[in-house]
Chain A
């Protein structure tokens, strides 16, 4: 009996050891935090470089225009009833600054590590804060507490690595870069655009954060956003705003949410 239990313990130890060793190969240590194993550095100040969707981002489009957004029939009455003054009066001036829209709002991002497993994004436009939590569960899992929906919702994050097609670990093409994947849910209903194109509380936002070198020596942050809303979108809405890295926060200019501008 004792020998059997010892054998069982042995098997368990071996499997733990295998798991631990594999984990060490993935990162520098089995207990490494998300910050320790980050394949890319997203921290710092970033400024929107608005070369796409200018007319929908830099100015407020006309009421009723939702071009390029695959709005469902259920969205049309809301689009046509948009009333920014009423939103402001009701305290909903941040409706176009929620997670599904905030990265497209022209402004600056300040990305920092709040702790070893939480990446924090502050925006000066609308003074919003996003917390991207690296948890052990699959991205998109709601936390057990399921708090009230918020503008920025709950974001689960994980690093993703990509290797060249057909390559093996011995190939030069087997590269060490990576990407950040974030899935956000539990969102308070908001607007995809300033002029009242809606998304619902059932929205799920998936994002991929990638960086790329710029020819002048700078760095570009590209955020590919996939907004899925079974209520107000017919198909996923995909956009990819980009940001240039800035040397410091000297241009950081916090401005409150506004429903009219």
Chain B
């Protein structure tokens, strides 16, 4: 139809008499048709705006954005998921009695044992650790996506997310730090589930995670932000799921955290006893509590402390610590100051 209109406009500027008359007629016709052409442009502009408005009326972006998972993602460091790594800090966890007892028996000197220095941390360290993510994809010969790989760090094993609907191995199959993970696109996000985890830790402060644990992941992308949601369940050590989310920003510079771990002598000989405490005699039991005037049940990871009702419960008993005035850590933080 548009071509038809233009054709008609062109036809109407043909000469109707002699050269002079023809030129005059042509100018008049051209002026008139330019006016009409102007109207046409105006009408088209209105129509285009109308079409845009029709899109906008749906209150959503006209086309879905593409979720590209592959790339380097830098950590932001604005969420406090590991706190200060002060011993006996189980804030924000819902532990079973068994989990709490096991955590209280942990001595950080275990990581000085030469055979444990490069043991690394489990899958949950993806959101609990300080590093960014470097993600690649692998395809088959038909260019169908087979897997995503999240590259290793110095103290974290590479994780593969299988995207090809493969069967999960037997429960008796090898359990590793990274576990076995399958993924699928769900509701605009990448969902994944990790099983077959080797018994390890969910906090650097020695909070355990058993080999029966399952971790559900969800990766959301919004612009250049990737938010990773972790829901860890453990029938042995967790009374409620541990839920952590952490955001990363797309990095234009490729990131690589794969420095090899090199064990060295840190004061413990091979074959020495495994350092540990009797749970009720842990010498660091009160350290974190005193540092920040925190309630004991919160520091020891009792379930009720994760809900708003608990905040009301301690309203009249909690006293904030005094400001840190000397030997403070970063941003007025107390981590370097030890309670006397």
Name A's B-contacting residues (CB within 8 A): 1, 3-5, 7-16, 18-20, 22-23, 26-27, 30-34, 37, 39-40, 47-56, 58-71, 79, 106-108, 117, 125, 134, 136-137, 157-167, 173-179, 181, 195, 208, 210-212, 214-216, 220, 222, 224, 226, 237-240, 242, 251, 253, 255, 261
Q: Does B36 contact A (CB under 8 A)?
A: yes
How many Å from the CB of A61 to the closest CB on chain B?
A: 7
- Pair B324/A37 contact, Cβ less than 8 Å: no
User: Please, how many angstroms separate the alpha-carbon atoms of A14 and B246 in the complex?
Assistant: 47
Of the candidates A53, A61, A220, A261, the one whose C-beta lies within 8 Å of that of B243 is: A220
Max count, chain A CB within 10 A of own CB: residue among B52, B57, B145, B227:
B57
User: Please, how many angstroms separate the alpha-carbon atoms of A175 and B5 in the complex?
Assistant: 42
New contact pairs (11) apart from A4-B8, A224-B247, CB-CB < 8 Å? A15-B50, A37-B59, A48-B307, A51-B244, A55-B80, A65-B331, A158-B61, A164-B185, A177-B189, A211-B187, A253-B312
- Pair B227/A7 contact, Cβ less than 8 Å: no
- Pair B40/A8 contact, Cβ less than 8 Å: yes
| CB neighbours of B91 from chain A (8 A) | 54-55
Q: Give residues 7-45 of B contacting A (CB, 8 Å).
A: 8-9, 32-33, 36, 39-40, 43-44
- Pair B332/A62 contact, Cβ less than 8 Å: yes
Closest CB pairs A-B (n = 10):
A19-B51, A177-B187, A15-B47, A177-B188, A159-B60, A19-B54, A162-B188, A161-B64, A34-B59, A64-B332
How many Å from the CB of B273 to the closest CB on chain A?
A: 34
User: Please, how many angstroms separate the alpha-carbon atoms of A47 and B311 in the complex?
Assistant: 13
| CB neighbours of B298 from chain A (8 A) | 54, 58
* One of B214-222, B258-266, B277-285 contacting the partner: B214-222
Q: A161-B60, A163-B64 are in contact. Are A26 and B187 (CB under 8 A)?
A: no
- Pair B315/A261 contact, Cβ less than 8 Å: yes
- Pair B243/A161 contact, Cβ less than 8 Å: no
Q: Give residues 155-196 of B contacting A (CB, 8 Å).
A: 185-191
Q: Does B318 contact A (CB under 8 A)?
A: yes
User: Please, how many angstroms separate the alpha-carbon atoms of A214 and B60 in the complex?
Assistant: 26
- Pair A26/B47 contact, Cβ less than 8 Å: no
* One of B69-77, B98-106, B118-126 contacting the partner: B69-77
User: Please, how many angstroms separate the alpha-carbon atoms of A8 and B2 in the complex?
Assistant: 9
Q: Does B231 contact A (CB under 8 A)?
A: yes
- Pair B79/A53 contact, Cβ less than 8 Å: yes
User: Please, how many angstroms separate the alpha-carbon atoms of A19 and B47 in the complex?
Assistant: 9
- Pair B311/A58 contact, Cβ less than 8 Å: yes
Q: Does B130 contact A (CB under 8 A)?
A: no
Of the candidates A16, A31, A69, A214, the one whose C-beta lies within 8 Å of that of B331 is: A69
Among residues of A, the one whose C-beta sits closest to the C-beta of B330 is A67
- Pair A47/B308 contact, Cβ less than 8 Å: yes
User: Please, how many angstroms separate the alpha-carbon atoms of A49 and B91 in the complex?
Assistant: 12
Q: Does B241 contact A (CB under 8 A)?
A: yes
User: Please, how many angstroms separate the alpha-carbon atoms of A137 and B215 in the complex?
Assistant: 40
Interface of B is mostly: mixed
Q: A7-B8, A240-B79 are in contact. Are A165 and B70 (CB under 8 A)?
A: yes
Of the candidates B47, B322, B332, the one whose C-beta lies within 8 Å of that of A79 is: B332
- Pair A8/B225 contact, Cβ less than 8 Å: no
Among residues of B, the one whose C-beta sits closest to the C-beta of A16 is B50
- Pair B218/A49 contact, Cβ less than 8 Å: no
Contact with A along B278-322 (1 / 0, CB 8 A): 000000000000001110001000000111111110110010111
Q: Does B253 contact A (CB under 8 A)?
A: no
Q: A58-B305, A60-B320 are in contact. Are A210 and B51 (CB under 8 A)?
A: no
| CB neighbours of B65 from chain A (8 A) | 160-163
User: Please, how many angstroms separate the alpha-carbon atoms of A107 and B310 in the complex?
Assistant: 10
Interface residue range, chain B: 35 or more
Q: Does B140 contact A (CB under 8 A)?
A: no
User: Please, how many angstroms separate the alpha-carbon atoms of A15 and B334 in the complex?
Assistant: 64
Q: Does B142 contact A (CB under 8 A)?
A: no
Q: Can you identify 21 A-B contacts, CB atoms within 8 angstroms?
A: A8-B39, A8-B43, A19-B53, A20-B54, A22-B54, A33-B59, A49-B307, A58-B311, A59-B292, A64-B324, A66-B332, A162-B189, A163-B188, A165-B67, A167-B185, A175-B185, A222-B229, A226-B225, A237-B78, A239-B78, A240-B79
Q: Does B93 contact A (CB under 8 A)?
A: yes
How many Å from the CB of B140 to the closest CB on chain A?
A: 14
| CB neighbours of A61 from chain B (8 A) | 292, 320
- Pair A16/B59 contact, Cβ less than 8 Å: no
Q: Does B206 contact A (CB under 8 A)?
A: no
How many Å from the CB of B10 to the closest CB on chain A?
A: 12
Of the candidates A49, A59, A158, A237, the one whose C-beta lies within 8 Å of that of B314 is: A59
User: Please, how many angstroms separate the alpha-carbon atoms of A165 and B185 in the complex?
Assistant: 10
User: Please, how many angstroms separate the alpha-carbon atoms of A167 and B251 in the complex?
Assistant: 23
User: Please, how many angstroms separate the alpha-carbon atoms of A161 and B294 in the complex?
Assistant: 42
Among residues of B, the one whose C-beta sits closest to the C-beta of A258 is B315
User: Please, how many angstroms separate the alpha-carbon atoms of A12 and B157 in the complex?
Assistant: 60
Q: Does B134 contact A (CB under 8 A)?
A: no
- Pair B323/A62 contact, Cβ less than 8 Å: yes
| CB neighbours of A18 from chain B (8 A) | 51
- Pair B241/A214 contact, Cβ less than 8 Å: yes
Q: Give residues 87-101 of B contacting A (CB, 8 Å).
A: 91-93
Q: A51-B244, A161-B61 are in contact. Are A222 and B187 (CB under 8 A)?
A: no
